[in-house]
């Protein structure tokens, strides 16, 4: 492919993406394919001769698009949002054109230095403590990791190695294997599954501590677990707190957790993958309480801040602890500017050696929207979730499980768990909107999250109509089964009446 052909292909690809985004509401959010669908549509071996880009682009429509779950659709309400924006896409495209591998400053100075700049921008935007800034006098700073999973693993491995070294000095009678065999980590039973998985990768047993009815991990709960383990001869190394749990977006009690960890010399990491962006809003300033006590934290720009996957921001109070844990230098990696205060070699701060120029898409996105635009985007998600919450509260057949948090509403049909599961199955079968369920106090509930690149109020209205109408169908089907020989015409007529009455009530409630 020469330069001229690349221009044609690239322009056609941009048009394809723009058309896709513009018409994404026309697509069912879930695909209709079955496992293995693609194997029958593609040849078993790569083509011998080159194919033209026009045919390849046609096949994206023919074989790839039918198998896509449309994460940028405003009808996607499962998991948490995966952010995207046109500036971010352009930034990634230019980054791919540069194709640098930025494991050290000399490999591409702009790659390292732009990351230092944007991580300080973000730290100030979120109003994090000064010691997390590269520009501060201390050894702290920020780095762009790929995912929250990577950030948590970096923290866990660093805490492990720092503890082993400290214990070898203070307890020379213990062998290294003895020390490693006694290590233990902590988190909440509400934390993301990646935390438990990272503990497996780090070869550190982790205790997922039970929380109270509020689903919040507190210092008292943690301290009790620590005392139990120390009495058994274990060595606590890290606690991973969560700001915005996966199930209900609960916030762990950072001030009390920080107090315990700081007194005990235990690393405190905060996973704020989704909710961390809300730190930028003054109306959520209470979320910042306790961050001055943490050793490291992460939040995903690819969840709430319009930068597409993968892009997880991580900050460290003392980056030297990570560098000391991961530093392996070879002569071919050295350069004469190594060790300068403001010039980190980020390969020492992460799991892989190589790294992409992610800072470019962050920089372009932040400049395109500005702080005001980013805050407005977060507030829009919150406002749309409030709109959905009002619909739930207005329908006596449904109940909220917890208070709405940011862009997440946790709700369920009243009654047995079967109603929730049947409703979810019906919604997934129709593929018009996508939700998932979770469990709270033995109750199954549905998680409705505002997602999509450009969600609008009418998308929330559409989702509620789909939920309401499908539930009306389900309960009327149940009535039919119960009544047995009851006249079908009367049932259908009553169902139609119920839906009309419900729709009118919704309109009045919204007004």
> Which pair of structure tokens corresponds to residue 86?
């046109």
Are 248 and 349 within one domain? yes
Q: What is the pLDDT of residue 495?
A: 66
Residue 286 CB-density burial (10 A; 0-12 exposed, 13-18 middle, 19+ buried): exposed
Residues 300 and 245 occupy one common structural domain: yes
**Euclidean distance between CA atoms 460 and 232, whole angstroms:** 52
- Tell me the pLDDT band of 143, cut-offs 50, 70 and 90: very high
Q: Which of 434, 501, 435 is nearest to 469 (CA)?
A: 501
Domain with 465 in it: what CATH number?
3.90.1150.10
Rounded to an integer, what distance in angstroms lies between the CA atom of residue 313 and that of residue 132? 12
Q: How do residues 210-261 score in pLDDT, each as one tens digit?
A: 998 889 999 999 999 999 999 999 999 999 999 999 889 999 999 999 999 9
Q: CA-CA distances (angstroms) from residue 58 to 53, 63, 273, 429?
A: 9, 9, 37, 28
Residue 325 pLDDT class (50, 70, 90 cuts): confident
Residue 451's domain comprises 374-471
Residue 336 has pLDDT above 90, yes or no: no
CA distances from 267 to 312, 316, 347 (A): 20, 11, 22
477 belongs to a structural domain: no
Confidence grade of residue 78 (pLDDT, cut at 50, 70, 90): very high
* DSSP states along 325-371: HH----GGG--TTTT-TT---GGGGSSSS----THHHHHHHHHHHHH
Residue 491's pLDDT is: 62
pLDDT at 271 over 70: yes
Task: Identify whether residues 348 and 418 lie together within a single domain.
Answer: no
**Domain match, 65 and 163 both:** no
Same domain membership, residue 312 and residue 225: yes
> Looking at residue 340, what is its pLDDT?
59
Task: With H, G, I as helix, E, B as strand and everything else as coil, classify residue 441.
Answer: coil
Residue 90 falls inside a structural domain: no
CATH of the domain at 66: 1.20.1340.10
> For residues 445 and 42, is the Cβ–Cβ distance under 8 A?
no
Say if residue 55's pLDDT is above 70: yes
Could you tell me the pLDDT band of residue 353, with boundaries at 50, 70 and 90? confident
What are the tens digits of pLDDT across the range 218-230?
A: 999 999 999 999 9
* Residues 7-36 pLDDT 10s: 999 999 999 999 999 999 999 999 999 999
Phi, psi of 165 (to 5 degrees): -65, -40
37 shares a domain with 165: no
Task: Identify the pLDDT of residue 346.
Answer: 85
Q: Does residue 452 sit within a domain?
A: yes
**299 and 440 together in one domain:** no
Final residue belonging to a domain, choices 356, 387, 420: 356
The tally of domains found in the chain comes to 3
Over residues 153-179, the pLDDT tens digits come to 999 999 999 999 999 999 999 999 999
Among residues of the chain, what percentage have pLDDT more than 70? 91
pLDDT score, position 294: 97
Assigned domain for 87 exists: no
Do 340 and 394 have their domain in common? no
Same structural domain, 327 and 410: no
pLDDT band at 288 (very low <50, low <70, confident <90, very high): very high
Model pLDDT for residues 340-352, shown as the tens digit of each residue: 556 888 888 888 8
Report DSSP letters for 220-249, one per residue. Answer: HHHHHHHHHHHHTT-EEEEEEEEBS-TTT-
* Position 365 in a domain: no
Q: 385-423 pLDDT, tens per residue? A: 999 999 999 999 999 999 999 999 999 999 999 999 999
Residue 249: the pLDDT is 92
Residue 494: inside a domain, yes or no?
no
> Would you name the residues annotated as active-site residues?
192
Rounded mean pLDDT, 196-214: 91
Other residues' Cβ atoms within 10 Å of the Cβ of residue 325: 18
pLDDT tens per residue across span 437-462: 999 888 999 999 999 989 999 999 99
Residue 239 phi, psi (nearest 5): -120, 130
Looking at residue 141, which CATH number applies to its domain? 3.40.640.10
% the chain with pLDDT above 90:
76
Q: Between 344 and 143, whose confidence is greater?
A: 143
What predicted TM-score, i.e. pTM, was given to this entire model? Answer: 0.89
pLDDT at 502: 64
CB-based burial of residue 274 (10 Å sphere; 0-12 exposed, 13-18 middle, 19+ buried)? buried
Same domain for 403 and 338: no
Write a three-state SS string for 373-397: HHHHHHHHHHHHHHHHHHHHHHCCC
pLDDT at 330 over 60: no
Q: Of 327, 356, 385, which closes a domain?
A: 356
Does the pLDDT value for residue 482 go beyond 90?
no
Average pLDDT score over the chain: 90
Per-residue model confidence (pLDDT) at position 509: 55
Tell whether the model's pLDDT for residue 488 goes beyond 70.
no
Task: Provide the terminal-to-terminal Cα distance of the chain, rounded to the nearest Å.
Answer: 57
Bridge partners for 142 per DSSP: 315
272 & 174 share domain: yes
Residues 315 and 171 in one domain: yes
Task: Give tens-digit pLDDT for 96-126.
Answer: 999 998 877 788 888 899 999 999 999 999 9
In a domain, 154, yes or no: yes
Q: For residue 488, is it within any domain?
A: no
Give the torsion sign (CA, 113, 242, 273, 312): positive
**Residue 368 scores a pLDDT above 80:** yes
């Amino acid at each position: 492919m020469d330069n001229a052909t690349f221009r044609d292909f690239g322009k056609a690809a941009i048009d394809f993406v723009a058309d896709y985004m513009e018409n994404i509401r026309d697509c069912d959010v879930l695909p209709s394919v079955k496992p293995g669908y693609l194997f029958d549509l593609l040849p078993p071996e790569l083509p011998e001769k080159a194919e033209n880009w026009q045919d390849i682009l046609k096949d994206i429509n023919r074989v790839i698009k039918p198998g896509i779950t449309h994460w940028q659709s405003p009808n996607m309400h499962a998991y948490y949002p995966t952010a995207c924006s046109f500036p971010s896409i352009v930034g990634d495209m230019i980054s791919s054109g540069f194709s640098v591998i930025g494991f050290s400053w000399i490999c591409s100075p702009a790659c390292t230095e732009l990351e230092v700049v944007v991580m300080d921008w973000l730290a100030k935007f979120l109003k994090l403590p000064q010691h997390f800034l590269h520009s501060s006098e201390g050894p702290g700073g920020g780095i762009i990791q790929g995912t929250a999973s990577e950030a948590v693993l970096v923290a866990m491995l660093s805490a492990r190695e720092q503890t082993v070294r400290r214990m070898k000095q203070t307890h020379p009678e213990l062998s290294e294997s003895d020390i490693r065999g006694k290590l233990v980590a902590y988190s909440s039973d509400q934390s993301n599954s990646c935390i438990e998985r990272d503990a497996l990768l780090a070869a550190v047993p982790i205790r997922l501590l039970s929380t109270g009815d509020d689903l919040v991990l507190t210092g008292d709960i943690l301290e009790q677990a620590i005392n139990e383990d120390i009495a058994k001869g274990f060595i606590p190394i890290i606690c991973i707190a969560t700001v915005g749990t996966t199930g209900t977006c609960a916030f762990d009690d950072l001030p009390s957790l920080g107090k315990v960890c700081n007194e005990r010399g235990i690393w405190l990491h905060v996973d704020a993958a989704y909710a961390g962006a809300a730190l930028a809003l003054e109306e959520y300033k209470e979320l910042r309480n306790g961050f001055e006590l943490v050793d490291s934290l992460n939040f995903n720009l690819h969840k709430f801040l319009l930068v597409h996957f993968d892009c997880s921001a991580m900050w460290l109070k003392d980056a030297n602890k990570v560098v000391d844990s991961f530093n392996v230098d070879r002569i071919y990696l050295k350069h004469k500017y190594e060790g300068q205060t403001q010039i980190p070699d980020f390969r020492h701060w992460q799991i892989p050696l190589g790294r992409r120029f992610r800072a470019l898409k962050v920089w372009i996105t932040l400049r395109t929207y500005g702080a005001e635009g980013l805050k407005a985007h977060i507030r829009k998600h919150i406002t749309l979730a409030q709109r959905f919450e009002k619909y739930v509260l207005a329908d006596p057949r449904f109940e909220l499980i917890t208070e709405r948090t940011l862009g997440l509403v946790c709700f369920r049909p009243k009654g047995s768990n079967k109603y929730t599961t049947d409703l979810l199955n019906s919604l997934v079968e129709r593929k018009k909107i996508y939700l998932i369920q979770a469990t709270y106090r033995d109750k199954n509930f549905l998680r409705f999250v505002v997602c999509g690149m450009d969600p609008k109020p009418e998308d929330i209205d559409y989702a509620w109509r789909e939920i309401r109408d499908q539930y009306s169908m389900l309960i009327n089907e149940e009535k039919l089964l119960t009544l047995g020989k009851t006249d079908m015409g009367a049932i259908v007529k009553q169902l139609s009446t119920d839906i009309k009455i419900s729709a009118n009530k919704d309109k009045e409630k919204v007004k």
